[in-house]
Chain A
């Protein structure tokens, strides 16, 4: 590999030492020196002394830090991977140190919403694209960085940590960004594809979390593979409708970041969103589930936002809206399923 010559170059940075952030840092560390930004000093100390973090070994090329200015000064390429609800505030901290030459490739699969003070997603009259932003749009709004990309695909952290074969998509309007992403991430067990429909890829990654919760719920009910096949294919159609209403193209949903990621998350008990659906179907309430885990399941928020947007853009999204009722309005999984099975519309494919 070319890792020798690349390691002479500047280091690259990962912002956010969560599960996926740490995994990406490890992947990058195979090719380059990596600065890993974490807010918590204890996390930094622990990584430094034990080289262990969240149950995985951290590569020797990784240097943990909590100095944003240092990160931005040392690196031209930065991978922000923090939960969507903290993304904007993180960008505000980072932004003063950024220059137009910086390249940002984020790996966050969630949406950002801006609401008038005192309002919630539920209370606000309507939710449209002026209030709902993808992470790349947050980066553009909050900083001078223009060369922006995103990372999306079937990338379960634990499998990547174990060195199992996998692939991802780096999407950007700039070929330059796609190429740099490929060069930095690629290794013998990790394939990287490029795509120019950044918003489409982002939306695919975001919306699949909704279907993942539903898939977990189906399994929790004890149903088998027929049901799952049905859900995945219909869920895909729903994602495409919503995705197009929000500004993506159909094709992004048919690739690795779309159907690839969807199948993975809908089949794996390793996925957080899937787990939530599963436990709901087992009779637990959302409150209890959230209280028992410290990890962020982006899907919950996405369901709220996607439902409100579907209402505004008049998109047919039966799975999303039923799931919303299960999560927030005391509909049982069984009732929701009954409704969906009798849903009158049965055109298979009408979007190509």
Chain B
């Protein structure tokens, strides 16, 4: 029944650094205290630069206190520290007491408060990588995944305790693996994956480990730490915490300084440049520039501050796409997206999944046949130029370029904020282009795309929201029509692959009927209401237009619509 996937070539990779004490992330956590202090100091200096006068600074502090107290009142989470209320109340008291004091006194006190706040934030953000618990986690994950896979796939008593199937069969890693491994020993790697599901962090963590790379640090949404299981995993994998509720200047500066400084110190990092999970199911088109700019800033600082006789550590950006048949949160994500788009109304991020739902999902996921593929893109320098396996940046003609030259004015490295903002914008465009290029099309994406486009064509007068409101039970597409459209779109995907504009899974090749079958069997496989099915007459029906729209969106942006 299942279309056979080409034999997985993935082999076990040896770790590139033998012992954990050599890992940059370990070095970072060993000197945790010093590091936090340095972050706080630098962030303090940044904020002072942005708010040079006493008045501006005290205003900023007042805003910060106000917002923090509002947050505590309205939106408290389980992970929030218990002493929060007291801390901010004290800051407020001290701020209020400043009224009527001399300018000098006020400035001194405001500086002291800002430093206190920066320090608090820095230690809130800081991750806590522990080699022992890293090892434990890794083994637990490996052990249970293997058991689950075998228990479910080899239907024989006792298979539960064998290791015939491993995670490797389930997750295909394709692309520039060799280059990634080579570069991780020469410079600092920043991995920037697409973001579709909460599962992404765990998946990427596994990928990094299985490629033999040392642990990466990454900023995980603090909301994830509410779920105990996640909190354990992430703490042990070197995650630092990003609290999206806090939008005040000192926090944002501290957060940015943290990631910049960590990169500067050579810690391989991971972040999802889309910011949050893609609500629409489309590949990211707009990236968060703040995090990207920290890579450029770190690289420039390295060029500026590295003594002339030492080699400058280079930073490499590696785009990664994660390709799923099924995204657990799809119905909620697309709900969010549609209600924002349709009613101009914003819904705050909520997590409806506790530990138990997650375990259930993981069980389902690993016991049923739903493959995932991870495409590793070609590495870029911070300017978006491709680099070769030895870390040289190349121009379009393949000539070597010195990345340092981008930061020069009259022959010396200079700091120019506006210039770097522009560079960040360029880098972000390049990453988006790479996402589209390395994206792997699955049969499930193809069928969802074609089906939704066909329905749209059948109702030319309805806008998107009208279409989504149609009663699902009345809508049928004849198999013949569907099949022809799939063939045309698939042909165009082949053509685009030849021109290096997209990739597709091996299962997309072969007899179109089998490919469609594979797609229908897999698209949104564990949803209560399946987005696409075949009815008794062999025609195509849907049970849920919303999720169908979600999976369809994966192929938006390739101009495939005209081939329907």
Contacts and interface: CB of A to CB of B under 8 A. Distances in A.
A101 B426 CA distance: 16
Q: Say which size band chain B's interface belongs to.
A: 20 to 34
Contacts of B7: none
Given A144-B395, A176-B416, A99 B405 contact: yes
Interface in A137-155: 141, 143-144, 146-147
Contacts of A144: 385, 395, 401
Contacts of A101: 405-406, 408-409, 411
Interface residues of A, number: 17
B416 A100 contact: no
Interface string B399-415: 10111011011110000
A196 B418 CA distance: 11
Contacts of B84: none
Contact of B402 (A9, A76, A99, A141): A99
A19 interface: no
Contacts of A95: 397
A141 B204 CA distance: 34
A301 B209 CA distance: 58
B405 A76 contact: no
Given A100-B406, A101-B408, A174 B401 contact: no
A175 B399 CA distance: 28
B422 A100 contact: no
B399 A100 contact: no
Contacts of A174: 418-419, 422
A9 B411 CA distance: 11
Nearest to B418: A175
A241 B418 CA distance: 30
B410 A76 contact: yes
A146 B397 CA distance: 16
Contact of B399 (A76, A96, A141, A173): A96
Interface of B: 383, 385, 395-397, 399, 401-403, 405-406, 408-411, 416, 418-419, 422-423, 426
Task: Report the 7 A-B pairs with minimum CB-CB distance, sorted nearest first.
Answer: A100-B405, A101-B408, A101-B405, A100-B406, A175-B418, A99-B405, A144-B395
Interface of A: 9-10, 76, 95-96, 99-101, 141, 143-144, 146-147, 173-176
Given A96-B399, A176-B419, 19 more contacts: A9-B410, A10-B410, A76-B410, A96-B397, A99-B402, A100-B383, A100-B401, A100-B402, A100-B405, A100-B408, A101-B409, A101-B411, A141-B396, A144-B385, A144-B395, A146-B406, A146-B423, A147-B419, A176-B409
23 contacts: A9-B410, A10-B410, A96-B399, A99-B401, A99-B402, A99-B405, A100-B401, A100-B402, A100-B403, A101-B406, A101-B408, A101-B409, A101-B411, A141-B396, A144-B385, A144-B401, A146-B406, A147-B419, A173-B422, A174-B419, A175-B418, A176-B409, A176-B419
